[in-house]
Amino acid sequence: MAQKRTRVIAVLIAFGVLHAVLDVFQPYFRGSTHRLRRSLSDGGPVVYPWARNNLRPLDVAPEPDKDAVLVWHIPKSGGHTVKSIYECMGQTLANRAGVDPRYGHQLDEEIIAFQPYPGVSRATFVNVDTTNRPGIDRAKQMGLVPSGLVDIIVTSEPKYAIENLFDGTHKGRVLALFRHPVDRLVSKFFYLREATWEKQYRPQWKRMGVLEFAKQRNTDNNYMVKKLAALRVNDAATEEDLRIAMRTIKKRFIVGLVDHMAESVHRFNIVLGIDESQKENRKCMEHFLHDSVGARKHKSKSNPKVEPGSATWNAFAKRNSLDIRLYEFVVELFSQQKEIIESYETSYAG
Provide the edge-to-edge strand list for the sheet that holds 124-126: 113-114, 124-126, 92-94, 152-155, 68-72, 172-178, 253-257
Q: What's the pLDDT at 236?
A: 95
Distance CA 14, CA 20 (A): 10
Q: What is the CA radius of gyration of the chain?
A: 25
- Whole-angstrom distance, CA of residue 259 vs CA of residue 252: 22
pLDDT at 163 over 50: yes
pLDDT beyond 70 at 10: no
Stretch 132-153: mean pLDDT, rounded?
Answer: 97
Query: What's the pLDDT score for residue 301?
Result: 57
* Each residue's pLDDT tens digit, 68-92: 999 999 999 999 999 999 999 999 9
Q: Which amino acid, residue 278? A: Q
How far lies 280's CA from each of 9, 88, 152, in Å? 87, 8, 19
324-334 CB burial, b ≥16 within 10 A, e <16: bbbbebbeebb
Query: Phi, psi (5° rounding) for residue 261?
Result: -65, -45
Q: Say what the pLDDT of residue 199 is.
A: 86
Helix (H, G, I), strand (E, B) or coil at 143: coil
Instruction: Give residue 190's Cα distance to chain centre.
Output: 23
Give the up-direction half-sphere exposure of residue 200: CA atoms within 13 A in the CB hemisphere.
7
pLDDT tens track for 300-310: 556 888 999 99
What is the number of other CB atoms lying within 10 angstroms of the CB of residue 245?
Answer: 27
Other CB atoms within 10 Å distance of the CB of residue 121: 12
Comparing CA positions, the residue from 151, 189, 162 lying closest to residue 75 is 189
130-158 average pLDDT score = 97
Termini Cα distance of the chain = 89
Q: What percent of the chain has pLDDT over 70?
A: 83
What dihedral do alpha carbons 195, 201, 207, 210 form, nearest 10°?
-80
In this prediction, residue 119 carries a pLDDT of 87
Answer for the pair 76, 179: CB distance below 8 angstroms, yes or no. yes
Whether 16 shows a pLDDT value over 60: the answer reads: no
* CA–CA distances in Å: residue 342 to residues 85, 228, 266, 270: 22, 27, 11, 9
CB atoms within 10 A of CB 36: 15
Query: Tell me, what's the pLDDT at 116?
Result: 95
Question: Distance between CA atoms of 89 and 98, rounded to whole angstroms?
Answer: 17
- The mean pLDDT of 288-313, rounded to a whole number, is 73
Burial per residue of 162-195, b for 16 or more beta-carbon CB atoms within 10 angstroms, e otherwise: bbbbbeeebbbbbbbbbbbbbbbbbbbbbbbbee
Close Cβ partners of 314 (under 8 Å, ≥ 6 residues apart): none
Q: What is the pLDDT of residue 21?
A: 35
Checking if the pLDDT of 174 tops 80, the result is yes
Is the pLDDT at 295 greater than 60? The verdict is no
- Residues 277-281, mean pLDDT to the nearest whole number: 96
Q: What is the pLDDT of residue 23?
A: 41
- pLDDT band (50, 70, 90) for residue 348: confident
Return all residues near 217 (Cβ < 8 A) that are at least 6 apart. Answer: 205, 208
How crowded is residue 216: how many other Cβ atoms within 10 Å of its Cβ? 9
Residue count (the chain): 350
For 196-240, the pLDDT digits (tens) are 888 888 999 999 999 999 999 999 999 999 999 999 999 999 999
- Number of H helices and E strands in the chain, helices first, is 16, 7
